Chains A and B, each alone.
Chain A
């Protein structure tokens, strides 16, 4: 069921045929205990402090978090985009069997854009305003492929067509500001996928777009993923996007993964109070409007001097469910919960399911009713 991409010139640096990476179903990316620290004058900012996840070919991982959760920093670390003089990165990031963190800058650069590509949030500022879109896409192609300008241009037009841009042979010579928002993001996607990377990281790809355009882009990403069989990491704060796109979900808070598992699992049986908070603070297009939203009190923590023990405990309303002062003194490990080994969470609470069903859901009645029905249905 893996579709072979169309014939393309072989990459000269590795001699591998195009469409590199592990065969379908195999693990593409394995991140273990990733830490990204920024030493500053005021102390060490621990932007990412212990991240673990794996991703297989053809699958989508959704990383959900708010500002300060470390989601963008971690993806930049995977790409190796941080300034090595100002950042301390530790842990391991294994892409197709090679630990990227052990590579030299030159070696990493060969892989960047070829084995792993990234698309960003704001396509207008992410493209150079002085060069045509075609120029920039061609550049992305010629960096990793030894082809003539003409061949590269033809390939760029082909990619523009594939991402759904009308009249690609004319628009390839347009400047970024002459494209609409949705078209620009499509062009960025074309630029990211032109070398058929095994892993695509999309950092808030639709946040800056209208909702109908967002729907188009998400559909496009899913179509392309199926066609190229790439692994996709989609970073977002929008639970709805994650719900539609992701196979697995990783919820991040204060630089750590706090809940990780299959998407449906996490959304119907969340086991960590932060996730409960996220789900209940988002208004639903079909929920009961008489019920107030239940926000998470307080503000995101400082990464310079984070709270002791569990980083979420100052804002957690279920601290009292844990005996003693454990939440404040000891940081919980990411372990499997009540639902089995595939669903891990970082929390001391022993019986989250009961608490969720009895306390959290009824408080958010509108969501509760529907969710409860779903939970019942899925049993």
Chain B
């Protein structure tokens, strides 16, 4: 009774989106999905969702050290993460070390197999597919890695690195491979005559371009970029970011952009999700997230980013100082995981896990006291809707607000905090 369960759509809806009907009991919304792609999700008409992640979970076992090694605990790296990526758009995934964003990236590309949850790529759940079934999908989902110095095999020429996917998937006849490689090198801004050189003959920025070229060989539809510019110099970062933006426009590629640099993410991604300790705490379009964040962690994160302009005129903004360290993902705090460092945590936060609920047209937040910085409400905002009182204890005689469901993506209706009702 303390949690809102996810009454999601039938798993194989071809549109891949979840909808929530405005009225009706939570149970009914699951059954009445219209399978056609008119997504009640506030997105631009015609826009479809290429990736839908639903309650994705990745637990790594921790073995005991006794004579017989049993699994005594789990590292809850990713714990129930749901989001959507629109076709041709980019979703930014930000968070600090240990939040699970890199693990999420690896799950999407199926370098790892999730312990639970669904990953729907173009409507099809790929979470539990075997390696053989995954092989054709690898053409559609590719990854760009962080460290350009270690992610390229130093013993292979650049040409063979870029050609490898072509050879593995047999998409191009052998004699056409070279020309395709050269074409790709040119697309990413490298000299096509350099295909016979080795990675160590290139600078960091150029190596990253090689990695991008390799990712592009098979015309992927979705690129997962895991910190693609963190290891690069500032001026080179800008070059690579511009390149990625050009590529996105030209080839209509969707991006899952994982980074810790908030400024870079904001520049690249129209939608951003913030992760903390394996969960998404807030997701919104970038204007909302960066100007009106409602979650105290997002607010702290944004206030910690050094601001060149602000400092130039001689002020340091009020920083929300977070004390202490990130807790261990093996034994995360009960209820809201951020409560141990949260400046506004109260009793209910330890008892009830705040659901990730939509509170605006493109804004979801998981906090009992969600509100603008400095103006957090005194009473928990979802409690009546969840059927509990303000201390987290179940309140008899209160019915939860219908239609309050957790689902990936944005719906046409949401829970308006002011009125405590579903609005639109």
A–B in direct contact per CB < 8 Å: yes
B267–A289 touching, CB < 8 Å: yes
Could you pull out 27 A-B pairs where Cβ atoms are within 8 angstroms?
Answer: A66-B235, A67-B204, A181-B97, A182-B325, A212-B300, A213-B96, A216-B322, A218-B306, A219-B319, A219-B321, A237-B233, A239-B234, A240-B308, A244-B316, A264-B312, A267-B311, A268-B312, A268-B313, A278-B235, A281-B238, A284-B263, A285-B266, A289-B267, A293-B238, A295-B235, A299-B205, A371-B309
Q: Which of B204, B267, B290, B307 counts the most A-chain CB atoms under 10 A from its CB?
A: B267
CB distance from A353 to the nearest CB of B (A): 16
Assembly CA distance A368 to B345 (angstroms)? 40
Q: B residues within 8 A CB of A367?
A: 309
Pair count A-B, CB < 8 A: 136
Q: Which residue in B206, B304, B312 is a CB contact (below 8 Å) of A374?
A: B312
B290–A300 touching, CB < 8 Å: no
Q: A residues within 8 A CB of B307?
A: 240, 243-244, 284-286
Binds A, one of B65-73, B109-117, B125-133, B239-247: B239-247
C-beta contact mask, A233-257 vs B, less than 8 Å → 1, else 0?
Answer: 0000111110110000000000000
Say if the beta carbon of A183 comes within 8 Å of chain B. yes
Say if the beta carbon of B305 comes within 8 Å of chain A. yes
Apart from the given pairs A244-B307, A292-B245, A378-B313, 4 other A-B contacts in the complex at a CB distance below 8 Å: A210-B97, A241-B306, A243-B311, A285-B290
B264–A283 touching, CB < 8 Å: yes
Q: A residues within 8 A CB of B316?
A: 244
Say if the beta carbon of A75 comes within 8 Å of chain B. no
C-beta contact mask, A260-302 vs B, less than 8 Å → 1, else 0?
Answer: 0001100110000000011101111111010011111101100
Q: A residues within 8 A CB of B309?
A: 284, 286, 367, 370-371, 374
Q: B residues within 8 A CB of A279?
A: 308
Question: Could you tell me which residues of chain B, from 218 to 249, have a CB within 8 Å of some CB in chain A?
Answer: 233-239, 241-242, 245
CB distance from B209 to the nearest CB of A (A): 12
B305–A240 touching, CB < 8 Å: yes
Known: A283-B241, A292-B245, A299-B205. A211 touches B235 (CB 8 A): no
B235–A292 touching, CB < 8 Å: no
Say if the beta carbon of A87 comes within 8 Å of chain B. no
Say if the beta carbon of A76 comes within 8 Å of chain B. no
A212–B266 touching, CB < 8 Å: no
Q: Which residue in A238, A296, A377 is a CB contact (below 8 Å) of B313?
A: A377
Looking at chain A, what size class is its interface with the partner chain? 35 or more
Say if the beta carbon of B353 comes within 8 Å of chain A. no
Assembly CA distance A204 to B245 (angstroms)? 29
Assembly CA distance A244 to B96 (angstroms)? 21
Question: Could you tell me which residues of chain B, from 303 to 332, have a CB within 8 Å of some CB in chain A?
Answer: 303-314, 316, 319, 321-322, 325-326
CB distance from A184 to the nearest CB of B (A): 11
Residue of B nearest to A289 (CB): B267
Residue of A nearest to B203 (CB): A299
